[in-house]
Amino acid sequence: MLINVAFKNLKRNPRRTLVSILTVAMGACALLLFHGFNNGIMNQYRDNTIHSRFGHGQINTLGYRDTVYEKPWEHWIENTDAVLATLHDIPSVEHVFPRIEFSSLLTNGQITVSGHGIGIDGRVESDFFNTINLVKGANLNDHEDGMIMGLGLARALGVEPGDRVTVLTNTVYGSINGFDAKLTGVFHTGLKEVDDSVFKIQLSQAQILLDTPKIESIALGLSEKSTWDEFFSAFSKNLPNLQATPFEVLDKVYYQHAVDWLNQQFYVIQVIILLIVTLGIGNTISFTILERKREIGNLRANGESAGEVLRLLLFEGLFLGLLGAITGVIFAIIVDRVFLTNGILMPPAPGITRQYNVKLDIEGFMIMTTLGLSIVTALIATFIIGLKVSRIPIGEALRAK
C-alpha cells in the first residue's frame, strides 16, 4: 500500500520529481565517469608496461634477481630448449621470449656512447610488444644484423635508420668482441631511462657477441583469460629450479608505485565527489520534503503514525534514487560512447615523456557500485530530513505554509 502511495506521490508534482531525479542522475553520472576514467588510466599503465618491456612476467634462475653475482652469466638459464618447451606446455602461456641483457659501448665511427643491450627474438617479439612506439624505421623482425634503439640514444649517436653502428662488449670469458649492426628502427617508450640507453639486437647475435649459449631471462605472454596465480601454480610444479616474477614487481618504481599513488589520490577525490553529491541530493530532497509539511500534518491528523510517514518518505526516496541512478548511468554511457570514443588526451605522467589517450573503461561492477551508492545516498538524505519532519507536532505541521 505504502509503495503505491509513494509512487503516486512522485507523479503529483512532476517538476519537483524531475529536479530530484536529475540531481541524483548528475551525481551518478559523475561517479561512473570518474570510475571509468580511473580504471582506464590503470589499464593504460598496465598495458603499456606489459606490451613495451616486461610482458606479464619474467623467469630467471632461482635467487638470481635477489643476488649480486661477480659473474652473473654463470647463473643464467641452461638447457634453453627444454625450458622453453616446458613453458609452452603450460596452458596459460601463449608466448615466451628468451632474452639476454648486457652493457656495451656503441660507436658510429666518430661518436662513442655507452648503452644497455637486450638480445631478443625479433620476429617473435614484434607482435606482442606493440606499445614500444617506433617513431622511425621498422621493427627488428627477421633482420639478422639489425638493431633498434631508443630515441635519446639515437640522438646521442647521431644515427638514423639505415646507418651502421658497432657494438663493443666483453664476452663471458673476458675478451673483447664486436658486432657491426644496421639500425633498422628508433623507438620511443616514453621512459627516459629506457629511451636514452636501451638498444635491441637479435638474441642469436647477442649470444655470439657474449660467447655463450645460455639465456639470462624469459619474458612471458599469458592468455587474456589467465591470471598470474594460475600460471605460477603450474610453473612451480614443472620448473622448481627457476623463479617467476610478475611485471608489477619488475617495474615497481614506474608501475606499482604509480598505481598505488593514483589509487590513493583517486580515493580522496572519490570521497570529495561523494560528499558533494550527498550534499546536493540531500539539499534537493530536504527542500522537497519541507515543502510538504502540511501534507505530512494531514497524514498524521488522519491517524498515520510518525513511523508510517517516515516509511512513506523512504519509499519515495528509494524511487527517486533508483530512477536518478539509472538515468545517470545512461547519461554516462552515452557520454563515453558518443563524445569520448577516442578517449581523453592526457599530458605525460610521472616517468613518461609522451602524451597518451585514456579511454574510459566502464565495467559492470562499476555500474552496480554507482547504482548502489546513489540509492543509499538518496535514502540517507531522505531518512535524515524525513525523521525530523515526521516528528513535528501535528498542529505545527498543519499551520506550515
Query: What pLDDT digit, counting tens, does each position of 229-276 carry?
Result: 999 999 999 999 999 999 888 887 667 777 787 778 777 877 887 777
Decide: residue 133, CB within 10 A, 0-12 exposed, 13-18 middle, 19+ buried.
Answer: middle
- Between these two residues, 280 and 90, which has the higher pLDDT value? 90
C-alpha cell at 188: 620511443
- Between these two residues, 235 and 352, which has the higher pLDDT value? 235
Per-residue pLDDT, averaged over 283-291, amounts to 70
User: Where are any strands of DSSP class E within 138-232?
Assistant: 146-150, 164-170, 176-187, 198-202, 217-222
Name the band, by pLDDT with cuts 50, 70 and 90, for residue 220: very high
Backbone angles phi and psi of 284, in degrees to 5: -65, -50
CA 314 from centroid of its chain's CA atoms: 38
Closest by Cα among 186, 57, 54, 63 to 120: 54
Q: Model's pTM, two decimal places?
A: 0.74
Distance (Å) of CA 254 to CA 85, 134, 193, 345: 32, 21, 11, 20
Q: In whole numbers, what is the pLDDT of the chain averaged over residues?
A: 86
Report how far residue 103's alpha carbon sits from residue 118's, in angstroms, rounded to the nearest whole number. Answer: 9
Report how far residue 401's alpha carbon sits from residue 391's, in angstroms, rounded to the nearest whole number. Answer: 17
C-alpha cell at 196: 636514452
Q: Is the dihedral of CA 366, 372, 374, 380 positive or negative?
A: negative
pLDDT at position 99 over 70: yes
Specify whether the backbone of 158 is left (phi greater than 0), alpha (psi in -120 to 50) or beta: left
Closest by Cα among 39, 34, 25 to 273: 34
Query: What pLDDT was estimated at residue 156?
Result: 95
Using an 8 Å Cβ cutoff, are 20 and 27 in contact?
no
Specify whether the backbone of 391 is left (phi greater than 0), alpha (psi in -120 to 50) or beta: alpha
Contacts of 107 by beta carbon, 8 Å cutoff, 6+ apart: 113, 157, 165, 166, 168
Name the band, by pLDDT with cuts 50, 70 and 90, for residue 350: low
Paired strand residues for 106: 113, 167
pLDDT at position 351 over 60: no
Query: What pLDDT was estimated at residue 93?
Result: 94
Least confident of 142-151, 249-258, 321-330, 374-383: 249-258
